[in-house]
Chains A and B, each alone.
Chain A
Amino acid sequence: MTRVPDTDLAVAAAGLVKTFGDFRAVDGIDLEVRRGEVFGVLGPNGAGKTTTLKMLATLLPMDGGEASIFGVDVRRNPHMIRQLVGVTGQYASVDENLTGHENLWLFGRLQGLSSSRAKAMAADLLERFGLAEARDKQISAFSGGMRRRLDLAASLISQPPLIFLDEPTTGLDPRTRGQMWDTIRDLVRGGSTVLLTTQYLDEADQLAGRIAVIDRGIKVGEGTPDELKTSVGSSTLQLRMSDPAETADAAAVVRRVLDEEPVLTPEAGGMNAALPDANRAADVLIALRQSGLSIASATVQKPTLDEVFMAITGHSAEDETDAEMEVAR
């Protein structure tokens, strides 16, 4: 028997590579997830998030790099890794032909729980995930949100110390999405370590303590949501003029006060300007008043992760192809 030195890192991965033919889906990604944190992997469709997660979960062989989970080598000890990680996939991986309770019981039995213990765990999880009334319903009768919750419950039945959530809310309506977020927050309060992938910038912002931004198989940024946002500049001032004809004059005033070129948004009859400090907004407004220019609205906004993504990669999060999805099939 070997005692693995206790490590503070739940996941330590260096130089992960996965190629599908000529396509480098994951091209040298390093990840360090500390124990007890929620770590978000953010990127558009096809960036390599799911592929990275699948390699760490032993579902795909690694083509390059090293990875360990709680100190256990992923490549050499796949069976041990599977005992440490609960995986919830993008598509609910539960059995259509079984009821909610039967699904959880089966997954419990497969992982060595006694029949009665598996029953108790299943009942408890169904209760916790608000699925108690659906326990004897076949999954084919479940709604999308219920399936996802059951799927998450299924990955918790063996109480794994690390949970992988692969795009947990993709395709859910906003209300169900909010419920799923609450469930994930509860999970984290219970002390689990979570590695989460998402293409939704607000989801990473809401749930993750630290975020790695991935684009085209490469990690392009990492930090807390606030650090990432600060890296783009602190806030944006959005202005709309009462008379769109005065926009050019107003832009000249903004340029003078902030020493920064505002971005005109003609369709909105206004402009956006980066503020080094939110307080400088007042200077701009006073200067506009003194010049006799009248504004219809003025808002100061913290940068969104969308802007972060733009700033880091030079393109928006939405415009990437689904190349990886196609190749991965």
Chain B
Amino acid sequence: MTTQSTLLPDRETAEVLDRTLVARPSLRDTVDQSIAMAWRAMKKMRRNPEQFFDVTIQPLLFTAMFAFIFGGGLAGSVQDYLPWLIPGVLAQTALTACMATGTQMREDMDKGVFDRFKSLPIARIAPLAGPMLADVLRYGIAATLTLLTGFLLGYRPDGGVIGVTAGWALTIFAGWSLSWIFAWLGTVARSAQAVQGIGMMIMFPLTFLSNVFTDPETMPEWLQKFVAVNPVSQVVTACRDLINDGNFSAHVGWAVLGCSVVVAVFAPLAVRSYSRKI
């Protein structure tokens, strides 16, 4: 081919047929395209409201259920259990919502429209980043409803408006970060059911083998070790510090750092396996 010598791969742009072609999308383009994709995901959510079930019913149900089941036994009364439970359920619902993000992404990718997305001159991350961005709304709903249910049951956190808001925001950030794991799962799994199955296998140990429901002091020592390194425990502890005490403790820093590491690892993995998919 005669053309290869004239067009070097490291050129940023080329003029072809009076068009200026760019070699790769700019950051600005990537953001615009991700926002357009988020718009698509929002439209889709609005037209399929059943996608909100897990973030509306579950927070109401789980918060009330666990408060009444475990409250008396673990903390003496429901009132005394709430400061322990609410930050835990916050993290749990965010994690569950993440799983749905991965499953829906897998379902979405099987649709014909993804063939078109692949053929368009858009950033490879945009079709993934868009729905993830839209799902922030779902985590927001889940976190808000969990807190409201807690308030309704008589939860009066001492963290004040700033502490509670920070805990709420941390929950959403954690949900968004961890959903990249499930997005990656979505790009490598064969079907939406597989994502759901694998997701459950990850979810259950992560939420129950943690400090979500009880103080790990009461657990066997080998389990305590796992609980201590479980990222969910980190997020939960950070949320407790923020919401109950208004304390921006080291745990908060570790939780944010941990979540950022998850994004830094899994976002590129997800984009890579997505780009490879036929």
A57: min CB distance to chain B, Å = 6
Does A82 lie at the interface of the complex (its beta carbon under 8 Å from any beta carbon of B)? Answer: yes
Q: Are A79 and B121 in contact (CB under 8 A)?
A: yes
CA distance A211 to B258 in the complex (A): 58
Q: Does chain A have a CB within 8 A of B198?
A: no
In the bound assembly, the distance between CA atoms of A106 and B13 in angstroms comes to 25
Q: Which one of A79, A102, A110 contacts B22 once the chains associate, using CB atoms below 8 Å?
A: A79
A109 to B1, CA, bound (A): 34
A76 touches B9 (CB 8 A): yes
Q: Are A66 and B1 interface neighbours, CB within 8 A?
A: yes
Known interface pairs A57-B119, A93-B113, A107-B116. Does A79 touch B24 (Cβ–Cβ under 8 Å)? yes
Is B148 interfacial (CB 8 A cutoff)?
Answer: no
Contact residue among A12, A76, A92 (Cβ-Cβ distance under 8 Å from B7): A76
* Cα distance, A107 to B37, chains bound together (Å): 10
Bound CA span A155–B120, Å: 9
Mask of B110-129 contacts with A, CB within 8 angstroms, 1/0: 01111111111110001000
B7→A93 contact, CB < 8 A: no
| Inter-chain contacts of A58 with B (CB < 8 A) | 119
Q: Is the CB of B16 within 8 A of A71?
A: yes
Given A79-B25, A79-B121, A97-B48, check contact A106 B39 (CB 8 Å): yes
Does B44 lie at the interface of the complex (its beta carbon under 8 Å from any beta carbon of A)?
Answer: yes
Instruction: Give B33's nearest chain A residue, CB to CB.
Output: A110
Instruction: Among B6, B12, B48, B121, point to the contact of A83 (Cβ < 8 A).
Output: B121
Could you say which residues of chain A place their CB within 8 Å of the CB of B118?
59
**B111:A154 contact, CB within 8 angstroms:** no
Is B278 located at the chain interface by the 8 A CB criterion? yes
CB-CB under 8 A for A107 and B6, given A60-B278, A93-B112: no
B111 proximity list for chain A (CB < 8 A): 95-96
Within 8 A of B (CB), among A63-98: 66-68, 70-73, 76-77, 79-80, 82-85, 87, 89, 91-98
Cβ-defined partner of A110 (8 Å) among B6, B9, B16, B126: B126
Question: Which B139-190 residues sit within 8 Å CB-CB of chain A?
Answer: none
**Does A328 count as interface, using CB distance less than 8 angstroms?**
yes
Contacts of B117 in A (CB 8 A): 110
Query: Chain B residues with Cβ under 8 A from A76's Cβ?
Result: 4, 7, 9
Chain B contact residues: helix, strand, loop or mixed: mixed
Does A96 lie within 8 Å of B113, measured CB to CB? yes
* B115 in contact with A59 (CB, 8 Å): yes
Q: How many of A's residues come within 8 Å of B, CB to CB?
A: 51
- Contact A1:B15 (CB < 8 A) given known A80-B23, A83-B121, A97-B48: yes
If the complex has contacts A14-B1, A97-B44, are A2 and B11 also in contact, measured as CB distance less than 8 A?
Answer: yes
Q: Is the CB of B121 within 8 A of A3?
A: no
User: In the complex the two chains form, what is the Cα distance from A106 to B120 in whole Å?
Assistant: 12
A4 is contacted by which of B14, B25, B40 (Cβ under 8 Å)?
A: B14
Bound complex: CA A106 to CA B23 (Å): 22
**Closest B residue to A96 using CB positions:** B111
The answer to whether B17 has its CB under 8 Å from any CB of chain A is: yes
**Bound-state Cα–Cα, A106 to B4, Å:** 34
Q: How many residues of B contact A (CB 8 A)?
A: 46
Q: Which residue of A lies closest to B20 (CB)?
A: A1
- The answer, yes or no, to whether B21 is at the interface (CB within 8 Å) is yes
Tell me, yes or no, whether A5 is within 8 Å of chain B by CB. yes
Instruction: Let me know if A111 and B115 touch, CB within 8 A.
Output: no
A89 & B112 in contact (Cβ 8 Å cutoff): yes
A68–B120 contact, CB under 8 A?
no
A92 touches B112 (CB 8 A): yes
The distance in angstroms between the C-alpha atoms of A68 and B19, with both chains bound, is 16
In the assembled complex, the Cα of A31 lies from the Cα of B120 at a distance in Å of 23
B121 partner, pick from A73, A82, A109, beta carbons under 8 A:
A82
B36 → chain A closest CB, angstroms: 4
A110 lies within 8 A of B122 (CB)? yes
The answer on a CB contact under 8 Å between B48 and A72 is: no
Flag whether A138 is at the interface (Cβ < 8 A): yes
The complex places the Cα of A84 from the Cα of B40 at a distance, in Å, of 24
Determine if B8 and A82 form an interchain contact, defined as CB atoms under 8 angstroms apart: no
Contacts of A161 in B (CB 8 A): 17, 19
Residues 107-126 of A, flagged 1 when their CB comes within 8 A of B and 0 if not, give: 10111100000000000000
Q: Which residue of B lies closest to A12 (CB)?
A: B1
- Say whether A7 faces chain B, with CB atoms less than 8 Å apart: yes
User: For the complex, is B218 an interface residue (Cβ under 8 Å from A)?
Assistant: no
Q: Assuming A73-B3, A73-B4, A79-B24, is B112 touching A94 (CB within 8 A)?
A: yes
Asked whether A154 and B116 contact (CB < 8 A) given A72-B7, A77-B7, the answer is yes
23 contacts between A and B (CB under 8 A): A1-B14, A3-B14, A60-B278, A66-B1, A70-B17, A72-B3, A72-B16, A79-B121, A80-B121, A83-B22, A89-B116, A91-B115, A93-B113, A94-B112, A95-B113, A97-B44, A97-B48, A98-B44, A106-B39, A110-B33, A110-B37, A110-B117, A110-B120
Known interface pairs A77-B7, A79-B24, A155-B116; 12 further A-B residue pairs with C-beta atoms within 8 A, sorted by A's residue number: A2-B14, A4-B16, A58-B119, A71-B6, A72-B16, A91-B115, A93-B112, A93-B113, A95-B44, A110-B126, A111-B122, A154-B116
- The 4 closest A-B CB pairs, nearest first, are A82-B121, A93-B116, A93-B112, A80-B21
